[in-house]
């Protein structure tokens, strides 16, 4: 516990327990993992990419990590502190699908204007393609890169319920719950 004070104050611990679905034991476990990967208590972008490379050996996770890092680094100081990491983790492992989808929405809303534009969806999906080595399935079938644009267009228009050319958070959450296969393809499902 003495060591943990470097990364987390008691106040932080209470904040996370109050605001996430993590229990204290899980938090301590993640603390140990985080410390192995990031001995200085901070995660920078190259290290995040390194972590993802271990899981996606055939793909290139750089682009995706770029997008992910932006969401993880809440205060935008260029590194992900353990606290920020835990907050994201708390949401991603939440048992409440609304919380998980709200988090995913932020990943898609790259310019943070509160809506997902089609170009943003293309960016995120193509980053996923790159990471997975171009084996992403939107409608149950494996698709090549040339199909990606039309698959995204299709997904986008299904999500854009009021057809105003952009996807609001409500539309996003509603359709992801209604069409779990779509959510799965976009890696929003666990
Ligand atoms: Ca930060
Ligand atoms: Ca946007
Ligand atoms: Ca809309």
Asked if residue 1 has pLDDT above 60, the reply is no
Asked if residue 146 has pLDDT above 70, the reply is no
- The domain tally of the chain equals 2
45 and 122 share a domain?
no
Query: In angstroms, what is the span from residue 17 Cα to ligand 2's centroid?
Result: 30
Query: In angstroms, what is the span from residue 78 Cα to ligand 2's centroid?
Result: 21
Got the DSSP string for 37-61? H-TTSEE-HHHHHHHHHHH-SSS--
22 and 88 share a domain?
yes
116 and 78 share a domain?
no
Mean pLDDT computed over 138-163: 76
CATH classification of the domain holding 102 = 1.10.238.10
- Is residue 3 a part of any domain in this protein? no
144 and 163 share a domain?
yes
118 and 80 share a domain?
no
Query: In angstroms, what is the span from residue 147 Cα to ligand 1's centroid?
Result: 36
Q: Which domain holds residue 150?
A: 97-185
88 and 157 share a domain?
no
Query: In angstroms, what is the span from residue 77 Cα to ligand 1's centroid?
Result: 5
- Is residue 169 a part of any domain in this protein? yes
- Sorted by sequence, the CB contacts under 8 Å of residue 38 that are 6+ apart come out as 47, 82
Query: How confident is the model over 86-106, as pLDDT tens digits?
Result: 888 888 777 788 888 999 999
Question: Do residues 179 and 101 touch, judged by C-beta distance below 8 A?
Answer: no
Q: How confident is residue 2, by pLDDT bands cut at 50, 70 and 90?
A: very low
Query: In angstroms, what is the span from residue 21 Cα to ligand 3's centroid?
Result: 30
Query: In angstroms, what is the span from residue 108 Cα to ligand 2's centroid?
Result: 7
119 and 171 share a domain?
yes
Q: How far is CA 166 from CA 22, 86, 144, 153, 172, in A?
A: 33, 31, 25, 12, 10
């Amino acid at each position: 516990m003495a060591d943990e004070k470097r990364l987390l104050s008691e106040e932080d611990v209470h904040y996370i327990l109050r605001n996430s679905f993590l229990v204290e034991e899980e938090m301590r476990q993640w603390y140990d993992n985080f410390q192995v990967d990031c001995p200085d208590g901070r995660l920078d972008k190259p290290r995040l990419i390194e972590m993802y490379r271990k899981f996606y050996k055939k793909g290139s996770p750089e682009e995706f990590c770029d997008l992910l890092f932006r969401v993880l680094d809440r205060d935008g100081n260029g590194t992900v502190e353990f606290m920020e990491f835990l907050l994201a983790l708390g949401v991603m492992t939440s048992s409440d699908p609304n919380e998980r989808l709200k988090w995913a929405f932020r990943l898609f809303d790259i310019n943070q204007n509160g809506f997902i534009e089609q170009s943003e969806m293309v960016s995120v999906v193509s980053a996923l393609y790159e990471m997975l080595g171009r084996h992403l399935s939107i409608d149950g079938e494996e698709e090549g890169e040339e199909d990606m644009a039309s698959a995204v267009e299709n997904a986008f228009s299904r999500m854009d319920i009021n057809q105003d050319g952009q996807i609001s958070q409500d539309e996003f959450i509603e359709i992801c719950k209604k069409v779990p296969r779509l959510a799965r393809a976009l890696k929003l499902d666990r």
